[in-house]
Structure 1
Amino acid sequence: MSGEAAFTRSPAPPRPVPVLADDAAALATARNLAAAFTAGAAERDLNRALPFAEVERFTETGLWAITVPRAYGGTGVSAATAAQVCALIAAADGSLGQIPQNHFYALEVLRNGGTEAQKRDLYGRVLAGERFGNALAEIGGRDYSRRTRLVRDPAGWFVEGRKYYCTGSLFAHRIPVMADAEEDGRAVAYLVFVPRDTPGVTLVDDWDGFGQRLTGSGSVLFDRVRVEPDWVVPFQASLDRPTAIGPFAQILHVGIDLGIGEGAFAATLPFVRERARPWIDSGVARAADDPLTLHALGDVRVRLTAADALLERAGRFVDAAQAAPDAESVAAASVAVAEARAASHRAGLLAANKLLELGGTAATDRTEALDRYWRNVRTHTLHDPVRWKYHWIGAYHLNGRLPPRHGAL
């Protein structure tokens, strides 16, 4: 695992963050922050300027602590509010909207699988301003088996392996890594909250996707990284029993797709009013009066509004599953979120497509960077295949089949 260019820039040391009063305060804070992030979004994307300053500002608002339960000093917002915060920020900058997703995911894993001591410690660190990245996914094989290992030997506990798609880790203070330990002849999953400066941890800025360019979704390497037992949160039990971890993770992705679509729609309106030309057959002098343009924009608005309503509905199912998890409540939440995810997938892509289509050739001007909406939503919607959302939605409603419990549904 040697010979790769390590990413050496570190985030600013954590500082205590405010605890927002409630869901309404979280949403109001996100709206204000999104307005500030909009101004530099195009330039950041054009120059691939990693948003360290913006992520610091994001954290300082207290928004990264909103899913810390009230019992541990946090805001304890609903699932829908967490997703809507992602949506509001993603409307301004798709990359910034995605960066906290795995931080929130790690906190949900902690809520389900951590000991009381681990919860007090790690939730307290978030309230003290720490950010968590992720090292979950791996590439290099056709299957989904993990090759990263948690090794226990007489010298101590160690993590060994390599991860990719590690969104947010460049900006993080700790990197929760999914690793398997051999126990009783089977692989048992753990989430290990590894400080980024632990010897043997190497971050590589090798994410080269054409969209979501600023998420820091590159590689993290673990070369016999010594870890403390207190950092190791059991995860296998949260996979083996019904929990809302999967639908909670997925509703955040709904918010990201929806938010990018809302950003594209917001960018379409002034461009059509001020820059676009009507088609010669329309018989009107302004593109804003073109009847087919009006129809297309109406269609986008309806689909985005429907996706937003489905997000709200799905959030209620996730909240219910978190409060009383069992096979039925978790399945109902998974399907409700899948329905919202299918809608936000299509609405986000449609909004980004129509921005370019209705804007015309002028909308492809590189300095406008309007293509970033399409690149971002197209990249993010590849996170997991929407075709399988439709499959399990149909199987659940028609045949009563419960969907699988994992982070992709």
Structure 2
Amino acid sequence: MSSLPHPLDGVALIANDQQALDVARQLAPLLQRDSALRDRERLLPHGELTLFSRSGLGGISVPKAFGGAAVSNVTLAQVIALLAAADGSLGQIPQNHFYALEVLRINGSAAQQKRLYADVLAGQRLGNALAELGTRTAHDRTTRLTRDGDGLRINGRKFYATGALYAQCIPTSVVDEQGVQQLAFVPADSAGVQVIDDWSGFGQRTTGSGSVVFDNVWVSADAIVPFQSAFERPTTVGPFAQILHAAIDTGIARGAFEDALQFVRIRTRPWIDATSDKAVEDPLSLKSFGHLAVRLHAAEALLERAGEVLDKAQAEPSAENVGAASIAVAEARALSTEISLAAGSTLFELAGSQATLAEHGLDRHWRNARVHTLHDPVRWKYHVIGNYYLNNQLPPRRGTI
């Protein structure tokens, strides 16, 4: 059993899957401890993220050739789910960190990989500045990358920049002078970078998913990693992004389920028509808990299966394997969406009116699930899944299926 590093120690180096899971299981209770307070008062989790970085978990997807553990996608999803069960916001913050590392693995040069992976293993956190408001669709981009001598300049404004508020480097999607999307790894302290804490969503309140403004920000040419080409050939960038989202929702569901169990055991009174003096023996509550448990375990099983299929696609990224991974992940994403919302809502039906009191903070589970599951519509996942099985149609190559 590995142990978490002391907060004043250096960054730990995790060597394998089991160690990653051990560390995540030890870190989770520390993240859960003040999760309701952080949500209620919107206390930004700087200290908790320092613990995350020093634990070494931020480097677990780095390839072995560059000194990382290269954990399986099964393990990575389990780690994210453990963190999200402890605190939904904290579970989401590393999502784009790992996503950027996957883009780097797929499209980065050897020199870029060596430099950026080393930074991450040393504890650097990556945020993101991908999405924009006011475009025709959620996938359109207007942030520009233009040449300036030996370097380049970035101008534009981003939103939904989860984790940028806490990051030392902000991977940013930009459109170059040829109209091609690239991913720029921008140091957060670069002149002209402004990270604005203007996220006002009613859930995932401490993710830092606000705005980032780039005002003539200079970047070196070696900070630019091809991005668009990751979707022009079979790669795992899309399903990799999505399995992390499924893991977040599965973790939120697990957190709500465990809090419901605890509350009913300790505080809830039986309904007047129940045949028992204890709420834990109420037959209708038992049925409802059983229904939740079955769907939660199904979501967790689909998440594990999706990780296995994604591992195969990473090893052999053919169109068929990547398509199968996208579908497996979409199935996990569909069910994790539904169970996270169901667990967060049914909690109150089972726990009773006391559970709505602000001091318990139990509403955060549903709010977190409702906000995070809006990342992309689950109705389209069912469409793509059905089209795959009925008509043998491979899903589109992008990050939202």
Give the aligned partner of residue 296 of structure 1: 288
The one of 65, 76, 82 aligned to 1:82: 76
Give the aligned partner of residue 35 of structure 1: 29
Q: Is the CA contact 1:396–1:403 (under 8 Å) kept in the aligned structure 2?
A: yes
More displaced 10-residue stretch of structure 1: 160-169 or 280-289: 280-289
User: Which residues of 2 match residues 104-143 of structure 1 at below 5 A?
Assistant: 104-143=98-137
Verify: 1:179 aligned to 2:174, yes or no. yes
The one of 297, 302, 326 aligned to 2:318: 326
Q: Is the CA contact 2:151–2:218 (under 8 Å) kept in the aligned structure 1?
A: yes
The one of 157, 161, 176 aligned to 2:156: 161
Distance 1:333 1:155, change over 3 A: closer
Name the SS for the 2:26 alignment partner: helix
Deviation at 1:39, TM superposition (A): 1.3
In the alignment, the residues of structure 2 paired with residue 206 and residue 279 of structure 1 have an alpha-carbon distance, to the nearest angstrom, of: 44
Q: Is the CA contact 1:15–1:129 (under 8 Å) kept in the aligned structure 2?
A: no
More displaced 10-residue stretch of structure 1: 274-283 or 20-29: 274-283
Q: Is the CA contact 1:15–1:128 (under 8 Å) kept in the aligned structure 2?
A: no
In the alignment, the residues of structure 2 paired with residue 33 and residue 321 of structure 1 have an alpha-carbon distance, to the nearest angstrom, of: 30
In the alignment, the residues of structure 1 paired with residue 32 and residue 394 of structure 2 have an alpha-carbon distance, to the nearest angstrom, of: 41
Counterpart amino acid of residue 61 in structure 2:
T
Verify: 1:235 aligned to 2:227, yes or no. yes
Unaligned 5+ runs, structure 1: 1-13
CA displacement 1:18-59 (0-9 Å, x = unmatched): 221211110111011001111111111111000000000011
Give the aligned partner of residue 298 of structure 2: 306
Q: Is the CA contact 1:16–1:127 (under 8 Å) kept in the aligned structure 2?
A: no
Give the aligned partner of residue 144 of structure 2: 149
Name the count of aligned residue pairs: 393
In the alignment, the residues of structure 1 paired with residue 266 and residue 108 of structure 2 have an alpha-carbon distance, to the nearest angstrom, of: 54
User: Which residues of 2 match residues 2-401 of structure 1 at below 5 A?
Assistant: 17-143=11-137, 144-154=139-149, 156-183=151-178, 187-401=179-393
Q: Is the CA contact 2:135–2:141 (under 8 Å) kept in the aligned structure 1?
A: no
Give the aligned partner of residue 8 of structure 1: none
In the alignment, the residues of structure 2 paired with residue 342 and residue 155 of structure 1 have an alpha-carbon distance, to the nearest angstrom, of: 46
Counterpart amino acid of residue 99 in structure 1:
I
Counterpart amino acid of residue 167 in structure 1:
T
In the alignment, the residues of structure 1 paired with residue 334 and residue 153 of structure 2 have an alpha-carbon distance, to the nearest angstrom, of: 40
User: How large is the Cα RMSD of the aligned pairs?
Assistant: 1.2
In the alignment, the residues of structure 1 paired with residue 263 and residue 123 of structure 2 have an alpha-carbon distance, to the nearest angstrom, of: 39
Q: Is the CA contact 2:145–2:154 (under 8 Å) kept in the aligned structure 1?
A: yes
| TM-score, normalised via structure 1 length | 0.94
Q: Is the CA contact 1:87–1:97 (under 8 Å) kept in the aligned structure 2?
A: yes
Counterpart amino acid of residue 101 in structure 2:
L
In the alignment, the residues of structure 1 paired with residue 20 and residue 263 of structure 2 have an alpha-carbon distance, to the nearest angstrom, of: 30
Q: Is the CA contact 2:150–2:220 (under 8 Å) kept in the aligned structure 1?
A: no
CA displacement 1:314-357 (0-9 Å, x = unmatched): 11111111111121111000000000111111111111111111
Counterpart amino acid of residue 86 in structure 2:
A
Deviation at 1:16, TM superposition (A): 5.4
Counterpart amino acid of residue 165 in structure 2:
L
Deviation at 1:100, TM superposition (A): 0.3
Name the SS for the 2:180 alignment partner: strand
Name the SS for the 1:381 alignment partner: helix
More displaced 10-residue stretch of structure 1: 153-162 or 14-23: 14-23
Deviation at 1:141, TM superposition (A): 2.5
> Percent identity over the alignment?
57
Segments ≥4 residues shifted beyond 3 Å? 153-156
| TM-score, normalised via structure 2 length | 0.96
Deviation at 1:125, TM superposition (A): 0.5
More displaced 10-residue stretch of structure 1: 146-155 or 44-53: 146-155
CA displacement 1:365-403 (0-9 Å, x = unmatched): 001100011111111111111001100000000001111
